[in-house]
Amino acid sequence: MPDRHPDEGPVCGLTGMFVSDGLTPDDVAEVEALNDLVARRGPDDVGAWDDGAHCALGFRRLSFLDLSERGHQPMVSAEGTDVLVFNGEVYNFRELRCELERAGRRFRSTSDTEVVLEALACWGFSALARLEGMFALAWYRPRERRLVLARDPVGIKPLHWWAADGVVVFGSQYDQVVRHRRCHRSRVDASALRLYLRLGVLPAPYGLLHDTGQVEPGHALELTVGSEPKVRAFRPLPRPASPGQRLRGRDAEAAVGEAVHRAVERQMVSDVPVGVFLSGGIDSPLVAGSMPTGPDGAVPAFSIGCDDPTMDESAPATAYARAFGLDHHLRTITGQDALALVDDVAQAYTEPFGDYSSFPTLLVSALAAEQVKTVLSGDGGDELFWGYPRFAKVRRTRPWFHLPRPARVAAYAATKPLPTARRPARGILFGSLGDWYLDAHSGLRDDDLATLAPGLGRLPPTFDRFCLDGVPGDDELMQWMRTNELACHLPMVLQKVDRASMFHSLEVRVPLLDLDLIDLAARVDPSAALVGTDGKLVLRRALETKVPAGSIPRAKRGFTVPLGQWLRDDLQPLVMDVFGHDAFPAGVFADGELRRWFEEHRAGRLDRTRGLWNLVSLQMWARTHLRPLPSRRGTVRS
């Protein structure tokens, strides 16, 4: 077990405002009010700081042990030259601290926050690339009148902003940047709206409203009074290794297994018990099986079942718990439970969010929060090691795209009488592999939007993640798909878990997204991970060293619930309610089309689960979060 330390890194919420023309008392009061919006992210401590000139910072802290002033934020350096609010964990802080002490820096606490502060003070911007962990931060230098907003290379921790007329408002939650008095909440970016309706999420750097956005993973937004804002990259994710430098076969399996063990061990550092989210698949059981028994006994594990046997993973999760000697806690979710959770879903997701596995994620977070303050999850394995079924499907169908589209259409029509296993995938009908891959991620397609929102316009001109010209080779396609998943699908997974867990004041760590493991994944050849339809084989092999191979499920189910049926039954009143009013944004959706579209789903004629939930979630978000702050301390609200 790694050494313990008395000052845990803070998982929390931060906020702030940077005003080129000078702060007013209303600005300072408003930052305090915005800070209240993240109370659930940090219920244990609250802090505020401003320089009386240009910058005001707010902070909410979720502490795992020490609530002394040593860990209080905003944190100011001893010389007063640097100020920091920091959300997250830095797992290599001990090594950095030793190096800083050799350079003459002195510390007042044992927290990783102070290590980050001193690293920035000593090494400047280059310190960001040396932080191994998950984080979002705001670093201010009063003498230089310079603010830096930065986010970890994977994007595990959120950081949103609004910027206009020399003012920047930023925070851990999107509602913080759309509820302040300067924001024009009716100014929806039509291209960002289209992107959300297709993907069910807005990846960085996009925001739904004009003048809003997100700091991109591995990037920093630098603001200086009198200068134009700058976006600077500090640590991009690694490029795939050249074929001659790849790991294959047993070499890949051994390297990945050892890297997972090290990542779990590193992220187990805590002064309080650490639990684990446990599914019936591969990733979270591998994480759970790599966790050493704590001093207080068996590791607590938390699972969710559902009332649809085709989606329920409670039986294999229970079997894993027995095999690893875990203290297993299981809760089942039904349609009636989902109805009761709707308000929590609306409150927890402070930006539009269309992944309906938010329901079980909220429930498992609530279950875990009853026992622990921090858990490990298995997120990231599918994206890194080609685990989703769509990888194999697109790979298998790639050669068809050497044919002109009319020939593919004819071939698809000619094979219709054949059994499904002997027919090409329907994806060959798309104009390109990139078009098909976008469709695979879409809740609403172009045809749907042409009916529901005919004047909506195109996707953002800078959004090119699904552009793929020609027919790439097998390896190029595999690497492109993985890069695409990390950029477009992983943000949905991370948002889902962060918002649900923080709603219950629970920290979630993701060892499969440890930077050392990501660096290693870039060296693993696809042949070591995807054979036929079986993906992430390197993780399966690592798990087989802990449980019998025959006990590991072959097919991936995913962490999901039977929402399609719930929308026809228990949740039907919710849909009729949100579609029965003027839809947000005003004037975008065609009169009556939303309810007609739902009726085709309700009647069972078409399955529109994903698209419906994207639409319903948008309406719930607008009702819940798109409103001004309440009045406070005489501050003007609009």
pLDDT at 107: 87
- How far is it, in rounded angstroms, from Cα 353 to Cα 158? 14
Beta bridge partners of 160: 171, 214
Q: Is 546 exposed, middle or buried (0-12, 13-18, 19+ CB in 10 A)?
A: middle
- How far is it, in rounded angstroms, from Cα 166 to Cα 611? 38
Closest CA to 112 of 129, 139, 135: 135
Strand order in the sheet with 507-509: 327-333, 300-306, 274-277, 374-376, 507-509
Secondary structure tally for the chain: helices H, strands E: 23, 17
190, amino acid identity? A
406, amino acid identity? P
377 close to 278: Cβ distance less than 8 angstroms = no
433, amino acid identity? L
Domain residue limits, the chain: 11-159+215-233, 243-385+493-551
Class of domain 243-385+493-551: alpha beta
Intervals of the chain under pLDDT 70: 1-11, 63-70, 271, 294-296, 554-560, 631-638
Pair type for strands 300-306 and 327-333: parallel
50 close to 85: Cβ distance less than 8 angstroms = no
pLDDT at 66: 45
- Would you state the structure tokens that stand for residue 33, as one six-digit string? 């009010």
579 close to 619: Cβ distance less than 8 angstroms = yes
Q: How far apart are the first and last CA of the chain?
A: 53
- Would you state the structure tokens that stand for residue 153, as one six-digit string? 């290379």
SS in 3 state form for 322-340?
A: HHHCCEEEEEEECHHHHHH
- DSSP classification of residue 152: -
pLDDT at 559: 63
- How far is it, in rounded angstroms, from Cα 308 to Cα 446? 31
- How far is it, in rounded angstroms, from Cα 97 to Cα 118? 9
The model's pTM = 0.94
- Topology of domain 11-159+215-233 in CATH is Glutamine Phosphoribosylpyrophosphate, subunit 1, domain 1 (3.60.20)
- How far is it, in rounded angstroms, from Cα 341 to Cα 77? 43
564-613 per-position pLDDT tens digit? 999 999 999 999 999 988 899 999 999 899 999 999 999 999 999 999 99
87 close to 172: Cβ distance less than 8 angstroms = yes
Strand order in the sheet with 83-90: 75-76, 83-90, 133-141, 146-151, 219-224, 230-233
- How far is it, in rounded angstroms, from Cα 289 to Cα 320? 8
Closest CA to 386 of 470, 235, 283: 283
SS3 of 292, please?
coil
10-39 per-position pLDDT tens digit? 568 999 999 999 999 999 999 999 999 998
- How far is it, in rounded angstroms, from Cα 138 to Cα 127? 14
- Phi-psi label, residue 48: left if phi above 0, alpha if psi -120 to 50, beta otherwise: beta
Using CA atoms, how far residue 47 sits from 25, 51, 206, in Å, is 17, 14, 29
Using CA atoms, how far residue 16 sits from 28, 77, 209, 268, in Å, is 9, 18, 19, 31
Which stretch of DSSP H or E encloses residue 147?
strand 146-151
User: Does the fold of domain 243-385+493-551 match that of domain 11-159+215-233?
Assistant: no
- Would you state the structure tokens that stand for residue 135, as one six-digit string? 């984080």
- Specify the residue for token string 């599918």: 382
Beta strands in 4-71 (DSSP E): 11-19, 45-50, 55-62
pLDDT at 62: 72
289 close to 547: Cβ distance less than 8 angstroms = yes
- How far is it, in rounded angstroms, from Cα 391 to Cα 393? 6
SS3 of 66, please?
coil
Closest CA to 508 of 158, 117, 214: 158
Q: Is 573 exposed, middle or buried (0-12, 13-18, 19+ CB in 10 A)?
A: exposed
378 close to 289: Cβ distance less than 8 angstroms = no
Q: How many CB atoms lie within 10 A of CB 242?
A: 8
- How far is it, in rounded angstroms, from Cα 383 to Cα 486? 6
Contacts of 603 (CB under 8 A, 6+ apart): none
167 close to 34: Cβ distance less than 8 angstroms = no
Pair type for strands 219-224 and 146-151: antiparallel
SS3 of 148, please?
strand
